[in-house]
Amino acid sequence: MSALAQQYNAINLAQGFPNFEIDEALQNALIEAASSDAHQYAPMAGNLTLREEIARLVSTYYLRSIATPQVLITAGATQAIYTAITALIKADEEVLILDPSYDCYEAPILLVGAKAKRISLAQDFKPDWELIEESVGPKTKMLIINNPHNPSGTIWDAKDFRELENLMRAHPELILLSDEVYEFITYEPHQSIHQYPSIRDRAIIVSSFGKSFHITGWKIGYLVCNETWMKEIHKVHQFLVFSVNSVAQHALALYLKETDLNQVKILYKQKRDLFREGMKKSKFGLLPAQGSYFQVASIAEITDISDYDFCIHLTKNYGVAAIPLSVFNANGQDQGLIRFCYAKTDQTLETAIERLCKI
Q: How far apart are CA 212 and CA 161, in angstroms?
A: 23
Q: Are 248 and 149 found together in one domain?
A: yes
pLDDT digits (tens, 9 = 90+) for 17-65: 899 999 999 999 999 999 999 999 999 999 999 999 999 999 999 999 9
Q: Are 18 and 29 found together in one domain?
A: no
Q: Are 273 and 211 found together in one domain?
A: no
Closest by Cα among 243, 235, 234 to 38 = 243
pLDDT bin (cut points 50, 70, 90) of residue 289 is: very high
Q: Which residues are within 8 A (CB) of 166 and not within 5 positions of it... i.e. 6 or more apart?
A: none
pTM for the model stands at 0.96
Q: Are 266 and 232 found together in one domain?
A: no
For residues 95-119, average pLDDT: 96
Q: Are 171 and 39 found together in one domain?
A: yes
Q: Look at the chain and report how many structural domains it folds into.
A: 2
pLDDT bin (cut points 50, 70, 90) of residue 142 is: very high
pLDDT at position 337 is 97
Q: Are 12 and 149 found together in one domain?
A: no
pLDDT at position 190 is 87
Q: Is the pLDDT of residue 159 over 90?
A: yes
Q: Is the pLDDT of residue 195 over 90?
A: yes
Q: Are 83 and 204 found together in one domain?
A: yes
Burial of 358 (0-12, 13-18, 19+ CB in 10 A): exposed
Q: Which domain holds residue 6?
A: 2-22+261-356
Q: How are strands ordered across the β-sheet holding 323-324? A: 285-286, 294-298, 337-341, 323-324
Q: How far apart are CA 343 and CA 64, in angstroms?
A: 30
Amino acid at position 203, single letter: A
Q: Are 271 and 282 found together in one domain?
A: yes
For residues 84-94, average pLDDT: 98
Domain boundary among 256, 273, 288: 256
pLDDT at position 189 is 86
Q: Are 252 and 325 found together in one domain?
A: no
Domain boundary among 224, 256, 288: 256
Q: Is the pLDDT of residue 298 over 90?
A: yes
Q: Are 203 and 99 found together in one domain?
A: yes
Please report which helix (H) or strand (E) contains residue 175, including its range.
Answer: strand 175-179
Q: Are 71 and 186 found together in one domain?
A: yes
pLDDT at position 34 is 96
Q: How far apart are CA 51 and CA 68, in angstroms?
A: 6
CATH code, domain carrying 112: 3.40.640.10
CA 107 to chain centre: 16
